[in-house]
Amino acid sequence: MLLYLSGCLYNHHLAVGDVVSVLEDVNGIKAIVKSKGLIKGKTGPAVAIFFTLSVFRIGVKLLFVREIIVNQNLGMIMIVPLMYLCGLMLATVFLFGLVLQKLLFLVCKSYHHENMDKSSLANHLEVSLEVEDQEYVALGGTRMTKS
């Protein structure tokens, strides 16, 4: 359990590295190194945010295991809504975590007085929209036009 929590505490570098690789022109190890530099000075709030998210994730998982897997006395009428509720709570925590990653990235950029290159970001988003509108690539590699 201690190893899991220590991994969750280090996860903030990787999470901000993901955001850096999407919003800036840096990829791979360089993005993680840049995220480490960005988080300097805001490590405490970053660790607190990701630790709290990890606690919520673990809480939802424990609720699922305790009430659905271990407790065999519940009928199907109670199991299905409880499974749906656990899935909804886990999805909410996950999506909230994604929003917090972007917010932490922007706060750290602001803390280090770095400017966001909005033209590069707009070009990046515009190119991805053009590709999405023109055609879809199926998993088999064949191209399908949008109808």
Q: How far apart are CA 49 and CA 16, in angstroms?
A: 12
Q: What is the pLDDT of residue 88?
A: 93
* 135 bridge partner residues: 145
Which residues neighbour 13 within 8 Å (Cβ) at sequence distance 6 or greater?
A: 32, 35, 36, 39
* Helix (H) / strand (E) containing 143: strand 143-145
Task: Provide the mean pLDDT of the chain.
Answer: 76
Q: Which residues of 70-108 are buried (b: 16+ CB within 10 A; e: fewer)?
A: eeeeeeeeeeeebeeebeebbeebeeebeebbeebbebb
User: Comparing C-alpha atoms, which of 112, 105, 106 is closest to residue 32?
Assistant: 105
- The DSSP code sequence of 31-73 is HHHHHHHHHTT-HHHHHHHHHHHHHHHHHHHHHHIIIIII-TT
* Helix (H) / strand (E) containing 135: strand 135-137
- By CB atoms closer than 10 A (0-12, 13-18, 19+), residue 139 is exposed
Residue 29 has pLDDT above 80, yes or no: yes
Share of the chain above pLDDT 70, in %: 72
pLDDT bin (cut points 50, 70, 90) of residue 92 is: very high
**Total-model pTM:** 0.69
Domain ranges of the chain: 2-115, 117-147
Averaged over 64-91, what is the pLDDT? 83
Residue 106 has pLDDT above 70, yes or no: yes
